[in-house]
């Protein structure tokens, strides 16, 4: 049985990552818009963070817990779940402009789509807390927190900020109030604390599946980066010199450069 205080602690960590999405709306309290170049750089930065967190955090930790085959199976499962979920939702693409005007049925669909996008990130947070209170780490609020958990929570929080900006852009265009933009940005990541708690409870109860859990989270996030974040950046930067690729690569490199040192703190 997983202790309630541990579940609450992991939920709060997931909630922090969700709240970080709201930070992405804050620039609109100062600026009316963000340039395409800035958006491409932000998408590249977020992609670099997620790739570094997946490869140097989750996969590396998974290999310490299990075999490459187990990690590979987990990666395949993570990719497969995202693909199947997209198919079940008929590959629905929800425009944030629809948030304000959605009825209950539409909000359920929106939440389903958001779950496909953000639930794997919550799973990554939950899996990274597998050794909460069981191994060496840093002391926080009476808990011994694994360094991987700190790394993943920071990585996903930073990654969520550009996502919040991307969500806020169309809302800003339709005149949604600034604080409502913050709310809808946070709303888009609400599946993360739920995913974190579910994943944490699962790997604590069935630790033999921990390597698969690391692979699952890494596979799902890498797949989302390659099929959604980077294509979104290239579409946004289509009118920039060389299609915005230099800006995208610069953002990617910056994201990776930021996260790799944190993994060795």
Q: Tens digit of pLDDT for each residue in 9-19? A: 999 999 999 99
Q: Give the total number of structural domains in the chain.
A: 1
- The overall average pLDDT reported for the chain is 84
Per-residue pLDDT, 219 = 92
| Both tokens assigned to 25 | 């709306």
Per-residue pLDDT, 143 = 80
CA dist 224 and 198 (Å) reads: 20
Per-residue pLDDT, 85 = 75
Please give the average per-residue pLDDT across 117-136, as a whole number: 84
pTM over 0.85: no
Which of 92-101, 113-122, 132-141, 228-237 bottoms out in mean pLDDT, i.e. has the lowest?
92-101
CA dist 163 and 24 (Å) reads: 7
Per-residue pLDDT, 249 = 94
| pLDDT score of 264 more than 90 | no
- State the DSSP string of 213-265: HHHHHHHHHHHHIIIIIHHHHHHHTTTSGGGGHHHHHHHHHHHHHHHHHHHT-
H-state helical runs in 53-146: 60-65, 68-88, 104-128
| pLDDT score of 101 more than 70 | no
Please give the average per-residue pLDDT across 71-98, as a whole number: 78
Outline where DSSP puts E strands in 102-195. 138-140, 143-145
Per-residue pLDDT, 50 = 87
Query: pLDDT tens-digit profile of 35-75?
Result: 889 888 988 998 898 898 898 889 988 998 899 999 999 99
Q: Shortest CA distance to 154 belongs to which of 7, 16, 6, 3? A: 16
Please give the average per-residue pLDDT across 128-157, as a whole number: 83
Going by the DSSP 8-state scheme, the letter that residue 164 receives in this structure is H
Per-residue pLDDT, 92 = 59
Please give the average per-residue pLDDT across 130-149, as a whole number: 80
Q: Which domain holds residue 190?
A: 4-263
Q: Using 50, 70 and 90 to split pLDDT, how confident is the model at 94?
A: low
Per-residue pLDDT, 109 = 63
More confident of the two residues 170 and 230: 230
């Amino acid at each position: 049985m997983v202790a309630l205080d541990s579940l609450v602690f992991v939920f709060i960590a997931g909630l922090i990552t969700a709240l970080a999405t709201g930070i992405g709306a804050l620039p609109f309290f100062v600026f009316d818009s963000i340039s395409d170049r800035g958006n491409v750089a932000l998408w590249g930065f977020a992609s670099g963070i997620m790739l570094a967190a997946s490869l140097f955090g989750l996969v590396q930790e998974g290999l310490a817990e299990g075999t490459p085959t187990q990690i590979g199976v987990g990666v395949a499962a993570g990719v497969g779940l995202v693909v199947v979920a997209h198919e079940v939702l008929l590959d629905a693409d929800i425009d944030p402009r629809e948030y304000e005007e959605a009825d209950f049925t539409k909000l359920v669909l929106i939440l389903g789509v958001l779950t496909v996008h953000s639930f794997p990130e919550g799973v990554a947070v939950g899996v990274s807390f597998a050794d909460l209170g069981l191994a060496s780490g840093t002391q926080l609020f009476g808990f011994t927190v694994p360094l991987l958990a700190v790394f993943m929570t920071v990585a996903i929080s930073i990654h969520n900020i550009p996502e919040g900006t991307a969500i806020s852009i169309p809302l800003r265009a339709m005149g949604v109030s600034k604080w409502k933009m913050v709310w809808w940005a946070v709303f888009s990541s609400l599946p993360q604390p739920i995913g974190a708690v579910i994943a944490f409870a699962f790997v604590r109860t069935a630790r033999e599946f921990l390597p698969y859990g690391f692979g699952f989270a890494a596979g799902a996030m890498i797949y989302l980066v390659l099929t959604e974040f980077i294509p979104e950046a290239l579409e946004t930067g289509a009118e920039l010199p060389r299609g915005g690729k230099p800006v995208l690569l610069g953002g990617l490199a910056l994201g990776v450069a930021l996260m790799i040192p944190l993994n060795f703190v």
